[in-house]
Amino acid sequence: MALEQRRRLGRGLDALLGPLPAEPEARDVSSSAAAGRRTVPVATIDRNPRNPRREFRREDLDELAASLKQHGIVQPLVVRPAPGSPDRYELIAGERRWRAAQLAGLHEVPVTIIDVSDRQALELAIVENVQRADLNPVEEARGYQALVEEFGYMQADLGTTIGKSRVHVTNTLRLLKLPEAVLKLLETGALSAGHGRALLGAPDPDKLARTVVEKNLSVRETERLAQLPEAEPRPAPKRRTIKNADVAALEKELTDRLGLKVDLRHEESGCGELRISYRQLDQLESLCRKLRA
Complete domains list, the chain, with CATH? 3-135 (3.90.1530.10), 178-226 (1.10.10.2830), 245-292 (no CATH)
pLDDT computed for residue 119 by the predictor: 79
Q: Which of 90, 95, 139, 251 is catalytic?
A: 95
CA distance 157 to 160: 5
Average pLDDT of every residue of the chain: 76
pLDDT computed for residue 26 by the predictor: 33
CB atoms within 10 A of CB 13: 19
pTM over 0.75: no
Each residue's pLDDT tens digit, 75-121 = 888 888 888 787 888 888 888 888 888 888 888 888 888 888 887 87
- pLDDT tier, 185 (very low <50, low <70, confident <90, very high otherwise): very high
Q: Is 232 a catalytic residue?
A: no
- pLDDT tier, 235 (very low <50, low <70, confident <90, very high otherwise): low
The mean per-residue pLDDT over the stretch 146-158 comes to: 77
Each residue's pLDDT tens digit, 38-89 = 888 988 888 877 766 666 777 777 887 888 887 888 788 888 888 878 788 8
| pLDDT(187) > 90 | no
- pLDDT tier, 31 (very low <50, low <70, confident <90, very high otherwise): very low
pLDDT computed for residue 54 by the predictor: 66
What stretches of 47-155 adopt beta strand conformation (E)? 77-81, 89-93, 108-113
CA distance 105 to 69: 8
Q: Is 174:197 a contact under the CB 8 Å cutoff?
A: yes
